A and B are shown apart, each in its own frame.
Chain A
Amino acid sequence: MSVSFQLVHAKPNRITTIALSWMLFAVGVGLYFYAAQKRHQENPEDRIMPTVSQMFHGMTNATTNPAEDDEALPENASLRQRFFASMLWKDTVATSRRFIYSILLLIPAVLLGLHMGLFPYVGVFFLRFILFCDKIVALSLLPILFIVFGIDELSKIMLIVIGVTPTIILDTFNLTKGVPNEQIVKAFTLGASDFDVAYRVVMRQIMPRVLDSIRLNLKAVMLFLFAGEMIASTDGLAYRIALLRRHMGMDVIIPYVLWVALLLFLVDFAMRVANRKLHPWFQEA
């Protein structure tokens, strides 16, 4: 057996897998704190690379104190009260609310893609237009959206809708087209109606892949959401990051960035688990 064959067919054991998969995290964290330590030795007032204690202090403030523009809490407020009035909680709720609205608005996109793929007249009516919309750089529309919808929530949600829905529509369209015609014909021979074929045959088959497609587009959703929040908002995680940038508040920006990554990871994980539970046949097949 050649060496290259062994490399391709290698089966790392559990301990090696864990060690290798965490190694880059450890190296990254180690390098950061080494560089931060060096910078602080040269300049104790350095704010570009905060130390662990500075970040801990910054995050403690962010999770127990309200934002500067909010009303201060009474001195005897409990920790729970402090957390739910804190800057981090308020920003997380604001961003999550916009995120959930945006994800809910993807449902009509999935339904449109399904009908486009299944009913040729609907397909030819929408396809060219959606393909064109998909090529528009959504961020270039931001000024137009602010002019048309104002700087409130709607413009930010519309930015996400315009940025992500064409991709989801086209993905769903292609997935629907991929359902073997034999199955559609068979469903009709078993007495199914158009509605049954769409929702009880095709929709159920493509749903796991649609959820995967939405999962892969989560980062794009957050990207457009952050762009909108950074430019015109009064709350939200991206708004706070943009605001703190002006004050060089890296002790809060870095934990905020990690918090956003963690939230996105949790959403992705929850969707993966839900997909596995809802569609056991898909994972095994």
Chain B
Amino acid sequence: MELIEIQNLSVAYGKPSRPILTNIDLTIREGEFVCVLGQTGCGKSTLLKMILGAEMPAHGRILIDGVQHNQPDRTRGYVPQKYSLFPDKTVLDNIAFGPEVSEFNMFTRMSPRYFRRRRDIRDEAMRYISRIGLHPRDAKKYPHQLSGGMQQRVAIAQALMTCPRILLLDEAFSALDPGTRKDMQRLIRQLWRDTGVTVLFVTHNTQEALHLGSRVIVLARESDEAGAQVAMDMSVPEPCHEQQIPVLVHHLEHASGSARAPEPVFATA
């Protein structure tokens, strides 16, 4: 079933306007794990922000389940590369924030139902803490007391607590060391399998895209003046054999116009 439909999407920024994305047409089905790949500055994050509803396209439209959304909402969870957690809240408060903020306002917080439901939400948040590999005592820690990898685990749990239909990750593992990154890749694959959520993962790392995605979309621009277009749209064979990877990496990097050597980060799915 088609979940995201991107129709003739074009985006331009600045004065004089500089095209970022040009005539993007894409369809993403429910339950897919789509990795959006491309060189730095090719408009990957812009595409993600358009799907998120944080920015509006100059031309074209984006339909989520057949409906055009003009602002971010609970249907789409979001994990950015930085600033993914609220620094003034503990891990538990961060994870429980979504259900609590959407179910209770200033007035309903006084009702007896609030306390019962709040306890349920907190129990669910604690289950998520265990599920993402954190110790229950970490629940009371603030984000600055966690490592980068732990922060991103919490950010993913926070996004999944509201049961979004789509999970959007914007270079979410880029700032992590290779070992932690490998763990995070395993975690996100596992959560994707368990929850069935549709994942859109933006990365500039070709091997990461191949190991994670069930489908890889490459964005590339023909010239510096042109906006990025879909240069390649490929389903990743499941399972993806080790021997196939160098060939696929070569194809994808050729499509994205990347001349650089493959990055060393390598995780087997």
Contact = CB atoms under 8 A, between A and B. Distances in A.
Interface string B51-83: 010100000000000000001111011101011
Contacts of B159: 186, 189-190
Report, as a range, how many residues of chain B touch the other chain.
Answer: 20 to 34
A196 B49 CA distance: 21
B102 A182 contact: no
Interface string A273-285: 0000001111011
A191 B162 contact: yes
B265 to A, nearest CB: 23
Contacts of A189: 52, 72-74, 76-78, 159, 162, 164
Point out which of B80, B87, B159, B161 has the most chain A C-beta atoms below 10 A from its C-beta.
B87
B86 interface: yes
Interface of B: 49, 52, 54, 71-74, 76-78, 80, 82-84, 86-89, 97-99, 101-102, 105, 142-145, 158-159, 161-162, 164
B102 A191 contact: yes
Contacts of A204: 86, 88-89
A205 interface: yes
Interface string A19-63: 000000000000000000000000000000000000000000000
Contacts of A188: 71-73
Nearest to B99: A191
A196 B101 contact: yes
Contacts of B97: 187, 190
Contacts of B143: 281
Interface string A188-199: 111110011000
A186 B102 contact: no
Given A186-B158, A190-B77, 14 more contacts: A182-B83, A187-B97, A188-B73, A189-B76, A190-B161, A191-B73, A192-B101, A192-B102, A195-B105, A196-B101, A205-B88, A279-B88, A281-B143, A284-B145
Point out which of A183, A185, A187, A204 has the most chain B C-beta atoms below 10 A from its C-beta.
A185
A163 to B, nearest CB: 31
A182 B80 contact: yes
B150 to A, nearest CB: 15
A180 interface: yes
A97 interface: no
